[in-house]
Structure 1
Amino acid sequence: MKEQYQATLAWLQQYPELHTLISLSLLILGAWIANWVVKRILVRGIYRALRSTSIGQDKVLSHSHVVRRLANIVPALILTAGIKVIPHLPEAVVTVVQNVCSAFIILTIALAIAGVLNLINTLYQRRPNAHLKPIKGYIQVVTIVIYAIAAILMVAALIDRSPLILLSGLGAMAAVLMLIFQDTLLSLVASVQISSSDIIRVGDWVEMPQLNADGDVIDIALHTVKVQNFDKTITTIPTKRFISDPFKNWRGMQESGGRRIKRALYLDQTSVHFLNDEEVARLRRFMLLDEYLDRKDQELQDWNTKLAEHGKEAVNTRRITNIGSFRAYVEHYLRHNPNVHQNMTLLVRQLSPTADGLPLEIYCFTNTVAWSAYEGIQSDIFDHLLAILPEFGLRVFQHPSGADMRELRPSLHLTP
């Protein structure tokens, strides 16, 4: 067998091109076999062994390609070592192949490290408080640094020079790099400020009208923040805009447990008047007004008694008004409403009269922050107030409509 091998080798040496071609073919075949063995046998064996453990049953870990990417290094190492023994190859070809394989190995390792970092971010997001301190932006910064170092090492490997030579030239390129990576640096600073100051979190409801963003934050990355608007559209906002531009974060409302109602009823000012005894007696039917009317009646009697002779004239006395009684009724109604948060500010106040009527503002908080429930509670409150308003002799102000003009037309008809 040995003599036959030597005879074959001696015969191939007579044909150097054929010898080189066969040697290259055997090298490539060996690299392919090694790649097949590593991926089909070794890697699969590792995955099957891991499936018997709790780690291997995790879909995120089982679907990661870190091990498969590292397996690509094996054929590259075989090509790097084997190309040197191929006979009759020019030295330049050997150097080029080795340099390309070295660059490929560096790229593979960089991709594997980036895969590990993404895996770390995925596992971190499973923590219940991960949305409070997202690390995705930092992961992306580390990934960029790794790719930058890998690019320098790859270029150094391809040109067969020391990477220190390339690094020494980066000082002169600092200004250019600052210009190129300006957005990245600004986004990095913004991400650090957002994280340290707890400005926004994943899940926060934010509102930025200048960018038509009004919805929930679904992702915070290095360069962008994604907001899912309430119409299910996605608005992508540069991270640095959350530092430079004003925006509203509704997290405080969501954490407080109550959502504010601030709305006014516009009353017709001509319907405001003093109540006579009959009207006061009719208002005593309201359970919520018993205490108010008794207290107010005693207060007015004490006041009017001090007027002596001047108290005989009604214009000098204090009397109960329908709008004051209605304001007291609204406040007591809100105090007894189980859907209104009683430990937060509750006001029923008059605002300055306007051309559209006298605003009676209701300022309170619901005991829920859910949007649909909040709107339902608010609507129920104003449904009741609008319906009960005529009982107090008050009217809601509204501009005349076409129907009002048609009703007015017969009374304005003049006969010749």
Structure 2
Amino acid sequence: MEIFDQSLQSDLYNWSLQMVSTLGLSDYNTYLVNSILLSIALFGVLYAVDFLLRKVLLLLVTDFINKSKSQLDDLLIKNKVLQYLTHVVPIFIAKGAIPLIFTGFPNWVNIALKVTDVALILTVCLLIQNILRAFRDLLKTKSAFVDKPLDSYVQVASIILYSISGILIYSIVTGESPKSFLVSLGAASAILMLVFKDSILGFVASIQVSSNDMVRVGDWIEMTKYGADGHVIQINLSTVKVQNFDKTITTIPTYALISDSFKNYRGMQNAGGRRIKRSLNIKMSSIRFLEENEIEELKKIQILKPYIEARSEEIKKFNEQSIVDPTVKVNGRRMTNIGLFREYIKEYTYRNPNIHKDFHFIVRQMQATEHGVPIELFMFTNTTVWAEFETIMGDIFDHIFAVVPYFHLEIFELPASDDVRELIHSIKTKKADS
């Protein structure tokens, strides 16, 4: 289909040629000036058409789209799909007008047509790319795709689209078939592999990350090598962006998620509980057997009373059956202050409404070290919110540190000012006595 009727083209060209011929120029210059003036007029017409399409038609279509309930048409406007679509019409008008404008200059006609063909390919390429972006934004609103690396897929599609456009532009400019270009491209594949190494690695990595469900947008990941500790905000072909908790942004190569190790906290968040794994060190010299009056005093602790009574009865029966000599404390079985302390922690934390009862729950004594005997709390809170978790754990250990003296125990710490003062006081006392 031709944009202009042939008779109309001839009449328009002849009229303009007659107007220019009145200037008294040579035949060549007359045709040249006529072509230049018609080119200027064509640019004006193309600009007017493009302006009208964008400002008038686009406004009408936008008003209609805003009234609809569909999200896709809103995203098409946001990604300027209709704007690029309006650019196609002026290009077709130019293609139809060029043979008229450059009548008598066949070489110019071929060059101008090649330029318009290249412009058409680029415009269509950008149009398709923006349509893909609109669909990407639409899929991001769906719960099934909100955590998928859609940016990576759009970037891969864009690379393919640009590659096809480049091949077509090469074919138009050189006049050779795309097949010859592909043959030449095969010879340069090694160079291309080197140039696009990161893109290829990123593409393969993004597919593996998606198929294995290793990382999603919104996941909290920790990757010490890259200083990343925060939530994933974007996954694309070449990089993964992580917003750290200090609001800085760390950029990680996508293929690093495959080649290096990282920690993903999604399992914790999905489980609904966050682990407490912390120890307090008991000074070994403060560990001892409890006297009967001390045991009776500890019975006043309500949550510990049932255990002490049951434990005392068990120990009494064992010692009677074994016929032990009670005058020596190491004979038979006796309760220790650290044992009751450990049981108290167990009962206290288990009764805490913020501790998850369905997950691992252990209060255990660890290997003694030069820093004392560690009592480790291994349990889970029923929340994964960081601030709430820290508050719960802080409240538990505040209480535990406060009750340590009730069991005649001491927390291990390196020599403090109290220890130094006590040592100095004892030395002065000995000197005074001597």
Shorter-normalised TM range: over 0.9
Query: Measured at CA, do residues 10 and 318 of structure 1 come closer, stay the same or move farther in structure 2, by a change above 3 Å?
Result: closer
Q: Which deviations, in whole Å up to 9, do the C-alpha atoms of 1:166-193 show, x marking residues without a partner?
A: 1222221221221111111111111111
CA distance in 2, matches of 1:373, 1:255: 16
Match of 1:164 among 164, 179, 185: 179
Aligned length: 415
Letter in 2 for 1:380: D
Equivalent residue letter for 1:16: Y
- Match of 2:176, SS? coil
Q: 2:124 aligns with which of 92, 95, 109?
A: 109
Q: Distance in 1 between matches of 2:48 and 2:122?
A: 22
2:204 is aligned, of 189, 193, 212, to 189
Identity, % of aligned positions: 37
CA-to-aligned-CA distance 1:138-182 (integer Å, 9 cap, x gap): 111011100111111112222233222212222212212211111
For 1:4 and 1:340, locate their aligned partners in 2 and report how far apart those are by CA, in whole Å. 88
* Residue equivalent to 2:230: 215
- Which residue does the alignment assign to 2:409? 394
Deviation for aligned residue 1:8:
7.3
* 1:229 equivalenced with 2:244 (yes/no): yes
**Structure 2 counterpart SS, 1:397:** coil
Please tell me whether the aligned partners of residues 263 and 361 of structure 1 are also in contact (alpha carbons under 8 angstroms). Answer: yes
Q: Which residue of structure 2 lines up, in the alignment, with residue 121 of structure 1?
A: 136
Q: Deviations over 1:216-254 (max 9, x none)?
A: 111111111111111000000001000000111111111
Looking at structure 1, the residues matched to 234 and 71 of structure 2 have their Cα atoms a distance apart, in angstroms, of 27
1:259 Cα offset (Å): 0.7
- Contact kept in structure 2, 1:272 and 1:322, CA below 8 Å: yes
Equivalent position to 2:54, from 22, 33, 39: 39
Matched letter for residue 52 of structure 2: V
8 Å contact 2:102–2:109 — kept in the other structure? no
Comparing 346-355 with 129-138, which one deviates more in the overlay?
129-138
- 2:343 equivalent to 1:322: no
By how many angstroms is 1:96 displaced? 1.1
Q: Note the alpha carbon deviations across 1:362-405, whole angstroms, 9 max, x for none.
A: 11111111111111111111111111111111111111124532
Offset, 1:60: 3.3
CA distance in 2, matches of 1:32, 1:89: 26
Is contact 2:16–2:34 with CA below 8 Å preserved after alignment?
A: no
Q: Is the 8 A contact 1:327 1:348 kept in 2?
A: yes
Q: How does 1:29-68 map to 2 (within 5 A)?
A: 29-55=44-70, 59-68=74-83
Distance of aligned partners of 1:4 and 1:195 in 2 relative to their CA distance in 1, 3 Å threshold: closer
Asked whether the equivalents of residues 267 and 358 of structure 1 are also in contact (C-alpha less than 8 Å), the reply is: yes
Shift of 1:10: 4.7
Aligned to 2:398: 383
RMSD over aligned CA atoms reads 2.4
Distance 1:286 1:164, change over 3 A: same
Deviations 1:278-325 (A, max 9, x none): 001101101111221121112111211122265664432211111111
Aligned-partner Cα distance in 2 for 1:7–1:36: 27
CA distance in 2, matches of 1:197, 1:16: 67
Instruction: Give the C-alpha shift of residue 47 in structure 1.
Output: 2.0
Aligned match of 2:346 = 331
Change in Cα spacing, 1:51 to 1:311, as seen in structure 2 (3 Å) is closer
2:30 paired with 1:21: no
Once the 2 structures are TM-superposed, how far is the Cα of residue 195 of structure 1 from its aligned partner?
0.6
Q: Pick from 181, 194, 204: which aligns with 1:179?
A: 194
The one of 369, 374, 398 aligned to 2:389 = 374
Structure 1 counterpart of 2:303, from 271, 288, 309: 288
Give 1:135's aligned amino acid: L
Output the CA distance in 2 between the equivalents of 1:5 and 1:323.
Answer: 107
CA contact (8 A) 1:20 1:89 kept: no
Tell me if the contact between 2:147 and 2:218 (Cα under 8 Å) persists in the aligned partners: no
- From the superposition, tell whether residues 302 and 151 of structure 1 become closer, same or farther in structure 2 (CA, over 3 Å): same
Partner SS, residue 276 of structure 2: strand
SS at match of 1:216: strand
Deviation at 1:64, TM superposition (A): 2.6
User: Unmatched 5+ residue regions in structure 1?
Assistant: none
Name the CA distance, whole Å, in 1 between partners of 2:322 and 2:349. Answer: 36
Counterpart in the other structure of 2:321: 306
C-alpha displacement at 1:7, in angstroms?
8.0
**Aligned counterpart for 2:376 among listed residues 353, 361, 368:** 361
**Bigger Cα displacement from structure 2, 231-240 vs 52-61:** 52-61
Residue identity in the other structure for 2:163:
A
Whether the aligned pair in 1 keeps the contact of 2:220 and 2:230 (CA below 8 Å) is yes
Q: Is contact 1:121–1:136 with CA below 8 Å preserved after alignment?
A: yes
Alpha-carbon spacing, 1:174–1:407, altered in 2? closer, same or farther (3 Å): same
CA deviations on 1:46-70 (whole Å, 9 max, x unpaired) are 2233233224897534323111112
Do the aligned partners of residues 113 and 291 (structure 1) sit closer, same or farther apart at CA in structure 2, a change above 3 Å counting? same
Runs of 4+ in 1 over 6 A off after TM superposition: 3-8
Which residue among 410, 417, 423 is the counterpart of 1:408?
A: 423
Match of 2:256 in 1: 241
Change (3 A) 1:157 1:340: same
Q: Secondary structure at the match of 1:131?
A: coil
**Distance in 1 of aligned mates of 2:273 and 2:200:** 39
* Cα contact 1:305–1:311 (8 A) shared by 2: no
Q: Helix, strand or coil for the counterpart of 1:130?
A: coil
**Pair 1:203 & 2:218 matched:** yes
Are the structure 2 counterparts of residues 11 and 232 from structure 1 closer, same or farther at C-alpha, using a change threshold of 3 Å? closer
Per the alignment, residue 150 of structure 2 pairs with: 135
Report the equivalent of 1:75.
Answer: 90
TM norm structure 2: 0.89
> 1:379 and 1:100, CA in 2 relative to 1: closer, same or farther beyond 3 A?
same
The residue type paired with residue 319 of structure 2 is N
User: For residues 275 and 51 of structure 1, what CA distance do their matches in structure 2 show?
Assistant: 80
